[in-house]
Structure 1
Amino acid sequence: MGKVKRIMDKVLSAACAALLSFMTLLATYQVISRYVFSSPSTMSEDLLSYSFVWVSLLGTALVFGQKDHMNLSILSDRLVGVNKFVLSIFTELLIMFIAIIVFLFGGTQVVGVGAIQISPTLNISMDWIYIVLPISGVLIVIYNCINIIQLIQQFNESKKEGIL
């Protein structure tokens, strides 16, 4: 599982870095075209918006995979042993449930609506933009499964070593 997670981390990190680089170049182009040539580009503005959505949602999946998301550790810091393990599993399952409902089910419905919409400036179907919702949902669920497996392995190792 660790190898799969490392590959996913590298791919998502590279995708986010590429998107951020693209956005930087696009914003620079937009500023130059607007202020130097007095000819603003509406296409670049839409591309920036869509790229921002993609980098945000792919970055969200990456952050959940690395367990770097915001959390309130008031309770988890006070727990030890089985109680901490149960809370960690519950947290992963709760995140997974929300990802399935919001990103997978909700995202799939949004993609369906996007299939009948066309971006006015880019002239592409909006489902190409919205597809990132179910993609990030799948990634979050995969990360949750990996995290749960790792938590179980750590718990079992702790039991074997007599820490619990």
Structure 2
Amino acid sequence: MIEKVNNTIGKIIMFVSTSMFGLMVLVAVWQVVSRYALNAPSTFSEEFLRYSLIWVTMIGGAYAFHLKKHIAIEMVVIRLHARSQRVVRFLAQLFLLAFALVVMVYGGIQLVSLTMTQQTVSLGIPMGYIYLSLPISGVLITWFSLTELFTRKNGAPQEQNETIQLKND
């Protein structure tokens, strides 16, 4: 059941981020055309691209966390015994969970509430909507972290979990 929920969340994230990225490409093309061909630069495109990149990065980062495709430094962990590796990974997962809850969710909600009255220059939307990507990705990371802690499974198939082994010469 949890795996189906995670797969559905993953599909939604992929759809949203892919759609957003496609729209970003179209807006970037429009920015170039309006600036160089029409000699009338678009006023909204640069701001739209900047804020869209924030959303794609935050949401995509949560999905990368789920698939274990983020940067991980395992140099010390892989040198430990199997039981010690499990303990260190469990503690790291707890730390990431606490970070997502405190900094991303709680801090993100505080930031959103502080910036809802400020508006963007060109688009005229509340800045809180831009910063809303932080608590949303924090909730996603919290969910993925909790499901991994309880099921001991992440979203990555076993053959995709890649670790670079350093050889001692």
User: Shorter-chain-normalised TM-score: which range?
Assistant: 0.7 to 0.9
Task: Tell me the equivalent position of 2:29.
Answer: 28
Going from structure 1 to structure 2, the CA distance change for 1:79 and 1:151 (only over 3 Å counts) comes to farther
How do 1:5-154 and structure 2 match up within 5 A? Answer: 5-151=6-152
CA deviation after TM superposition for structure 1 residue 80, in Å: 4.0
Counterpart CA distance in 2 for 1:35 and 1:14 is 32
CA distances 1:120-142 after superposition (whole Å, capped 9, x unpaired): 21111111111111101000000
Amino acid at match of 1:129: I
- So what's the TM-score if we normalise by structure 2? 0.85
- So what's the TM-score if we normalise by structure 1? 0.87
How big is the alpha-carbon RMSD for the aligned residues of Structure 1 and Structure 2?
1.4
More divergent stretch after superposition (77-86 vs 19-28): 77-86
CA deviation after TM superposition for structure 1 residue 101, in Å: 2.0
Counterpart CA distance in 2 for 1:142 and 1:80 is 29
Amino acid at match of 2:117: I
Indicate the structure with greater helix content.
1
Structure 1 residue runs of 4+, over 3 Å off?
none
Counterpart CA distance in 2 for 1:7 and 1:56 is 19
Gaps of 5+ in 2: 154-169
CA deviation after TM superposition for structure 1 residue 119, in Å: 1.3
Counterpart CA distance in 1 for 2:81 and 2:148 is 18
CA deviation after TM superposition for structure 1 residue 42, in Å: 1.8
Amino acid at match of 2:97: M
What is the DSSP-based 3-state SS (H/G/I as helix, E as strand, rest coil) of the residue aligned with 1:42?
Answer: coil
What is the DSSP-based 3-state SS (H/G/I as helix, E as strand, rest coil) of the residue aligned with 2:101?
Answer: helix
